[in-house]
Structure 1
Amino acid sequence: MISASVQNSSFNTHYAAEIARKLELMRAALSDGVTGLRLRGTDWFSWATAGATHTVLLAAETGAAEILVTSEGAWLLTDEIEAQRFIDEELPGRDESAGGYKLFAHPWADSTARDTFVQEVAGGGKILSDKPSTSSDFTELPIPASLITHKRVMMPSELERYRLVGRLASEAMTEVLLEAQPDWTEYQLAGAGARAMWARGLHPALTLAAGEKRLPLYRHPVPKHEALGRVAMLVFCARGYGLVASLTRFVYFGGLSLEQAKLHQQVREVEAATLDASKPGVSLREVYEAIAQSYTQQGYPHAIQEHHQGGTAGYLAREVIATPTSTDSLAENMVLAWNPSLSGAKVEDTFVLSNGGLKNLTLDPNWQSIDVNGRARPLPLER
């Protein structure tokens, strides 16, 4: 999570109101014999708790606690190993005294105690869950689409936290690429990126790195023991308060060739078409079609098939990825992370969508940029 100095900020004042509103939304989903809502996933846990985290293993989709909500109560469920840490570090400002969650802790070795408690407080009714269990003695059903939509539209307090996460992530990126050296390996670059995120209280949910050799070959270059050489790409998905900020940057040691500069320019043009198409009420399918058309105009009609182009973001790096058959529509206060790419070039930032346009959450003002359709877009760093 974010460092202690940040946790003690004005964000604490938003917890009670935000959690109260989310409890209203969760309880509104209870009907027709459904008496409880159980949230297990990392994304839903942070959403329901106004940015708390239950993460222990970064790679896991679930964590050391879950949320249970009924019409009469709300609980954070965990075991006795984790209980005191949650009391000390995650529940303050989110607990029962603030209108939030009670704590239920069970012996770690008693795997049935949690389900027994859920059955008791839910009165034996059906349970909604983001990860419905098939092994429970009671029925668990998927979360309704209406509640999923609420999760994907940010409240003002969530956007305030998101702006902080984006700023810290972009500063970490700038720091690392100003330090990087051509004889570093991709492992070293990715490690420096992860270190810079951790130093700012961010979880390095994803850190990709590619040097001169592997950059043209793979869209998702998991780092290897390969020297960077004359160019490197670094990709972050940085998580703070459960919110994920994504960005990609390049560094060139010795400068870009004319061919490389043109490639990056073309990717920026594709992104400009993407961002121009991203408006409230527009479907992800329509944005996808705009991306496909722009690739064709740039002379790369098959590029859209070579990598997903991104989509909506939030408590997941991508809440929904745009496809030719997407039915989801964009709405005000949704967050977007598009990532158009060509072989050897890519552009990616995280934006919040409003009626006034798009606001970039991840562009460090200290990073050199260029105006594209009225937006500051990052240039490759030349060193």
Structure 2
Amino acid sequence: MTTEEKIEKIRNLMVEKDLDGVLLRKRRSFSWLTNGKSNYIMTNIELGVADLLIFRDRVYCITTKMEFARIQEEELTDLECEWITPEWYEGHNGALSSLCQGKTIGMDVCPQTIPNTVGIDLSQELAELTYVLNMNEINRYRWLSRKVAQALESTCRRIEPGMTEFEIQALLAVNVASLGIQTQVLLVATDRRIYQYRHPIPTEKKLDRYAMVVLCGEKWGLVANATRFVHFGALPEELQEKKAQIGRDRLGFQFGYSPWRTY
């Protein structure tokens, strides 16, 4: 599905909801519409630095003068749009308020964040447009899933007793960064910490026998999640049973899953 086809889907949603336009501010929305392009600088927030405002007859991109060249030359080369480029200290809200004045706008963010604008929260409806992946997105997601798994497994093969959780974290971070994959979540726990905490961030604790490494990796607006365990020495009976149970669960999932079905 091309960007133009996705814009048409948004315009159909505008007609259905009787809207004058739709504003996309979230990183995931931008990546979906542009087939994997990026509009972020900071990776720990939802919003990007380039907003897309879609009307029935045109598309605007609002970004600061500071970011304009990169967004135009590297991210939106295939999108025909009009550019609004305020100074960095002015922010986007003034330009957005002016463009949306007197109009009803659907948004992927809380409408109250844009002053003097009549907005409707379309977060759920817009997210639902992204749920079914096209073949290009499926191929990207397969690549990303393989690389996340390979990065984890490569890291696990280099883990040694005596390493701190911070050192294990560093090994994995290098593996994924070299592939252009952003780390959304990276968890490491060793020994008893695996059982004590659901989401154990890395610490200076040293590995004795048992390690868990978790990665949520993002690329092209897609996220792949995986977990791997490493144990040195013979598996205790408790872990042997857990391993067998995971195998049974995985087998049941594979037999119960049908491709192209929505769950």
TM-score (norm 2): 0.90
> Which of 235, 251, 255 pairs up with 2:214?
235
How far apart, in 1, do the equivalents of 2:55 and 2:147 lie? Answer: 36
Q: Percent identity?
A: 26
* Pair 1:29 & 2:46 matched: no
Letter in 2 for 1:198: A
Alignment of 1:75-224 (within 5 A): 75-92=60-77, 94-96=78-80, 101-111=81-91, 112-119=93-100, 124-135=102-113, 136-143=115-122, 146-224=125-203
Describe the shift of the 1:24–1:279 C-alpha distance in structure 2 as closer, same or farther (beyond 3 A).
Answer: same
Deviations 1:138-182 (A, max 9, x none): 211121755432211101111121122122212211221111111
- Tell me how far apart the structure 1 counterparts of residues 134 and 69 of structure 2 sit (CA, whole Å): 29
Check if 1:262 corresponds to 2:241.
yes
> Do 1:231 and 1:250's aligned partners in 2 also have CA atoms closer than 8 Å?
yes
CA 1:198–1:144 in 2, change beyond 3 Å: closer, same or farther?
A: closer
Letter in 1 for 2:79: D
Contact 2:185 2:215 in 1 (8 A): yes
Structure 1 pair 102/214, CA: closer, same or farther in 2 (3 Å)?
same
CA deviation map 1:25-71 (0-9, x unaligned): 10001135411101111211111111111221111111212221111
For structure 1, which runs of at least 5 residues remain unmatched after alignment?
1-16, 281-331, 337-383
SS for the counterpart of 1:152 is coil
Cα deviations across residues 97-147 of structure 1 (Å, max 9, x unaligned)? xxxx44332111223432244326xxx211101113214212111217554
Which whole-Å CA distance do the structure 1 matches of 2:10 and 2:28 have between them?
A: 15
Residue 145 of structure 2 aligns to a residue whose secondary structure is helix
| Aligned 8 A contact 2:107 2:119 in 1 | yes
Shift of 1:211: 0.5
Q: Measure the CA separation in 2 of the matches of 1:333 and 1:186.
A: 39
| 1:25/1:147 contact within 8 Å kept | no
Matches of 1:145 and 1:232 in 2, distance apart? Answer: 37
SS in 2 for 1:141: strand
Question: CA offsets, 1:230-286, max 9 Å, x none?
Answer: 011111111010100111111112242333122121133234334444447xxxxxx
Equivalent-residue separation in structure 1 for 2:151 and 2:209 (angstroms)? 21
User: Is the 8 Å Cα contact of residues 34 and 128 (structure 1) preserved in structure 2?
Assistant: yes
Query: What is the alpha-carbon distance in structure 2 between the residues aligned to residue 255 and residue 21 of structure 1?
Result: 55
Q: 1:244 to 1:179 in 2, by over 3 A?
A: same
Query: Letter of the aligned partner of 1:133 in structure 2?
Result: P
How far residue 76 of structure 1 moved from its aligned partner, in angstroms, is 2.4
- Which runs of no fewer than 5 residues in structure 2 stay unpaired? none
Greater percentage in helix: 2
Aligned length: 260
1:56 maps to amino acid: I
Q: Aligned letter for 1:166?
A: S
Amino acid of the structure 2 residue aligned with 1:104: I
Q: Are the aligned partners of 1:230 and 1:252 in contact in 2 as well (CA < 8 Å)?
A: yes
Contact 1:234-1:250 at 8 Å conserved across structures: yes
Partners of 1:33 and 1:262 lie apart in 2 by 56
Give the 3 Å change call, closer, same or farther, for CA 333–83 of structure 1 in structure 2. farther
RMSD of aligned residue pairs (Cα, Å): 2.1
Determine whether 1:18 maps to 2:2. yes
